[in-house]
Amino acid sequence: MQPQPAPSSVAFRLACLTLGLVMIVNVIIPCIPGQQLSWAETNSAPTIGDCPLFPPNNIWNYDISKLHVHVNSARFIKSIGLQSHVHADFGAGLYNGAPIGIPYIVVPGKQNRVPVHFDYASESDPGPYPIPPEAPIEGGPRSSGDRHVIVVNSGTCKLYEMFAAYPQSDGSWKAGSGAVWNLNSNALRPRYWTSADAAGLPILPGLVRYDEVAAGAIKHALRFTVDRTRRAFLLLFFTVGGMAMLALVAFVALQQRLGKRR
């Protein structure tokens, strides 16, 4: 299958947000066309706010440890850097006076919804969003960085994510882009669309959370960024437990899942 050229869309103009979909870092690439995964090879879905972080058979929750190594695995790892290591950009406390990591907040089903105005409205899910005034912002309220805001509605099990989010004096928000995800569904964004990051993927399921660390196991993929990527992606079709599923996957580019070989 040939990689498809990247369009000149918002998802690729926001190059600074390029990410990969990973299980630690090394050499196993899942979603090989025609490969069948059984239910026994999937994890149970992590939960947050009494909601699943997507179904157990979602690509974020696969156990990929038994899948074959991709033929181009060595090239992928070389492009990332053979002497490089994973920098954990998360934790507690402050760095240069700003909070570390990407925060999120869980709100009840009755949370008031407020208008959101997007710079990239054509590739954003329209508001209103259930964002409380005290919703934490990545980097803090004075940040000039990505300023992600992530909200889980525990009553509807929907995930709301925004990029470059700024609260307004009238209670509304202004953001670069935004996406709404049904946490009980495997549905993807429309083809070529951005999300709250350039890859068109949700952010929250790829974050490391304190409760997972305290429990001693992280049973889902992690998100990470790399310095150099390809302006291409692969559109792969695969089945899981008899269910057809479509996923966008790229060569160390926008949406690739890597795994550590045991």
- Structural domain total, the chain: 1
Asked if the structure places residue 258 within a domain, the reply is no
Which pLDDT score, from 0 to 100, does residue 142 have?
93
Which of 217, 128, 205 lies closest to 170, judged by CA? Answer: 128
CB 210 within 8 A of CB 22: no
Query: Which pLDDT tens digit goes with each residue over 81-93?
Result: 888 777 777 777 8
- How far apart CA 249 and CA 96 sit, in angstroms, is 35
Q: 262 lies in a domain?
A: no
Quick one: average pLDDT of 236-256?
A: 38
Q: What is the pTM for the complete model shown?
A: 0.77
Least confident of 91-100, 116-125, 146-155, 235-244: 235-244
For the chain, report the end-to-end CA distance as a whole number of angstroms.
28
pLDDT for 5 equals 40
Domain carrying residue 167: 7-249
Query: What letters, b where the CB count within 10 A reaches 16 and e where it falls short, cover 171-197?
Result: ebbebbbbbbbebeebebbeebbbbbb
In a domain, 175, yes or no: yes
Q: Alpha-carbon torsion 214, 215, 217, 221, what sign? A: negative
Classify 222 as helix, strand or coil: strand
- Ordered DSSP codes for 136-165: --TT-TT--S---EEEEETTTTEEEEEES-
Indicate whether 260 belongs to any domain: no
Is the distance from CB of 98 to CB of 140 less than 8 angstroms?
Answer: yes
| Tokens matching residue 256 | 């690739």
Task: Give a yes or no: residue 104 inside a domain.
Answer: yes
Q: What is the mean pLDDT of residues 18-37?
A: 37
pLDDT at 14 over 60: no
Q: What percent of the chain has pLDDT over 90?
A: 38
Burial of 33 (0-12, 13-18, 19+ CB in 10 A): exposed
Which pLDDT belongs to residue 19?
Answer: 37
Greater confidence (107 vs 82) lies with: 107
* Structural domain includes residue 187: yes
Give a yes or no: residue 257 inside a domain.
no
Q: Is residue 95 part of a domain?
A: yes
- Joined together, the tokens standing for residue 51 give 């909601």
